[in-house]
Chain A
């Protein structure tokens, strides 16, 4: 499709490749881990029982694998003020690499890059697809998870 037909404003195209920088550190705490587990209906003892988590090699109650997606500053597309002509957004997909365990007492820091914004015509009309990459680090600066979410705007 020629660029002149794209629905993506030049100021948004110019943001592709930019990132949020490291956000504010966020402590992983037992209470929030428990809320996450309750929200998804998990009975896994790793998320509530310290002895079970320690037996599995964690230093405290384990965080669920995708816990970092759960509201770490600078860790979502909402940290970008994207100017798009379409406003109805749904999640298209998630794509995660789990690199190191995360548990209570860790402090996570996130950094998100806008990796792609493209326009395409779907069967129901115009769509804009956005892709981000978020890298999560622990308090020792170790990369613990990479997440690449896709958003679909219609």
Chain B
């Protein structure tokens, strides 16, 4: 749980970690989401498409980010907007660390609006996803 007062502009947070992502999780995601693009579960086809392995679906990374952000914010109703850009591919075995930097903080009466820049970094230190989020955080009062 974090409050508006914790979120000074420029402050950096580690939102959390998820993974290692297994092929079983990826198969569950494909089956549940209905996204049967074979690059997410068929290694032979992924290699044929010049990829190094099956790759973790972008929306699956997005869902993990939102899950970490929910834990960090202390609830999901605080989260109003989130966007991601998938600039690198991740393969099975990846452990994601989700980082945020406060870019704007505007206090209101009982809550305050907070904007975050997001970086998703794998265990090799590569930033494979970047993004932004907008939250409405409670004031400590």
Contact = CB atoms under 8 A, between A and B. Distances in A.
Contacts of B18: 40-41
B34 interface: yes
Interface of B: 18-19, 21, 25, 28-29, 32-35, 37, 39, 49, 55, 57-60, 62-64, 66-67, 70-71, 75-77, 79-86, 89, 131
Contact of A41 (B19, B71, B83): B19
B32 A98 contact: no
DSSP majority for the A interface? mixed
Given A39-B25, A44-B67, A64-B66, 13 more contacts: A36-B32, A39-B60, A40-B67, A41-B19, A44-B70, A46-B76, A64-B63, A64-B67, A65-B82, A69-B33, A88-B49, A91-B58, A92-B86
- List 6 A-B pairs, minimum CB-CB distance, nearest first: A91-B58, A95-B83, A39-B28, A71-B34, A93-B85, A39-B29
Interface of A: 32, 35-36, 38-42, 44, 46, 56-57, 62, 64-66, 69-71, 76, 78, 88-98, 101, 149-150
Nearest to A65: B66
